[in-house]
Amino acid sequence: MIEIQNLTKTYGQIKAVDNISFTVNKGEILGFLGPNGAGKSTTMNIITGFIPSSSGKVTVNGCDIMEEPEEVKKKIGYLPELPPLYMDMTVNEYLTFCSELKKVSKKVFRSQMDDIMELVKITHVKNRLVKNLSKGYKQRVGLAQSLLGSPEVLILDEPTVGLDPKQILEIRKLIKALGKEHTIILSSHILPEVSAVCERVVIINKGKIAAIDTPDNLSKSLGDYSRFTITIAGPKNKIVDNLKEIYGVKYLEPQHSGEKEENSFVVEADKEIDVRKPIFHKLSELGYPILELKSLSMSLEDIFIQLTSEEKGEV
């Protein structure tokens, strides 16, 4: 659906985006992540045709943004971090104005208007001035304008910034629902949000691609150890002594102790060695049953920090 090839954007001697390439598949929700100044917004502005690239190519459903800018813009709905709202218009007036800018026919607009407002839950405020709306509703109005004309692609830059927890959950649920009908690029600093809604992530740092993959695959490839929690019925000290002797176990950290000598531990092991079977056999031999075993993969926050730190080991 979207193909970015060798994209570069320079400002004088500074490369804001440095020869990046990636694709976004049809119907995919892609997380686009990076620290401040990494080149995220510049890349999204190039994809939408807001600014030109210095070199490279962007195509949306086969159309080149440089050669067919108007055609590409028809295929894209864009919600910037700060929605471009006109405060002295009513919601209805603003969306009508946006539809005219997008050259959406009046017939199509009339057929879409009610559905879009119902989808983003702004029907009951359609006659209110935008300036009198809460931050959450302003964000919804911005999202509504991005849906005008039924674009195939949605590019959402920090869609939940400044919202309260309830509003964040509502917008997150809406983005997942929109993913059934649209291809979405989602940029957000709220990494649990990205983990909850995105199938793949692109992490950009200093204008270059640092990683492209699913969060699960990145977790497996970047971690030096496999980590899991294990709860065992048995005496704590004997369990610790025996587990430490198992080949491949690098670290053992006792957690809380429950009733009837139920003890939990965080275990770190060499990721090339599956220590679960020898642990099972050893505990079976000792007569200490395993009550629970749960994998602890790297979180998206851990992955992000590891890939974007200035120096190895920086926190």
Q: Tokens for 15?
A: 């490369």
With cut-offs at 50, 70 and 90, classify the pLDDT of residue 259: low
With cut-offs at 50, 70 and 90, classify the pLDDT of residue 315: very low
Contacts (Cβ under 8 Å, ≥6 apart) of 221: 213
Contacts (Cβ under 8 Å, ≥6 apart) of 104: 112, 148, 149
Contact 91, 127 (CB under 8 A): yes
Q: What is the mean pLDDT of residues 97-120?
A: 90
Query: What architecture does CATH give domain 2-220?
Result: 3-Layer(aba) Sandwich (3.40)
- Return d(Cα 137, Cα 1) in angstroms, integer: 30
Distance of CA 213 to the CA centre of its chain: 12
Given CATH 3.40.50.620, say whether it is the number of domain 224-297. no
CA dihedral 48, 53, 55, 59 (to 10 degrees): 10
- For the chain, what is the mean pLDDT? 88
- The pTM score is 0.76
Q: Is the pLDDT of residue 137 over 50?
A: yes
What are 211's strand-pairing partners? 203
DSSP element (H, E) containing 57: strand 55-60
b (16+ CB within 10 A) / e for 164-186: eeebbebbbebbeebbeebbbbb
Place of tokens 């020898």: 278
Q: Residue 310: its pLDDT value, please?
A: 54
Encode pLDDT of 26-77 as tens digits. 989 999 998 888 899 899 999 999 999 999 999 998 899 999 988 898 899 9
Encode pLDDT of 167-177 as tens digits. 888 888 888 88
Q: In angstroms, how far apart are the furthest CA atoms of the chain?
A: 77
> Where are the chain's structural domains?
2-220, 224-297
Top-confidence residue, 123 or 136:
123
Contact 30, 200 (CB under 8 A): yes
Q: Is the pLDDT of residue 223 over 90?
A: no
DSSP state, 38?
Answer: S
End-to-end Cα, the chain, rounded Å: 37
Encode pLDDT of 231-252 as tens digits. 999 998 899 999 999 999 988 8
Helices of type H across 165-274? 165-178, 191-197, 215-222, 236-244
Q: Is the pLDDT of residue 194 over 60?
A: yes
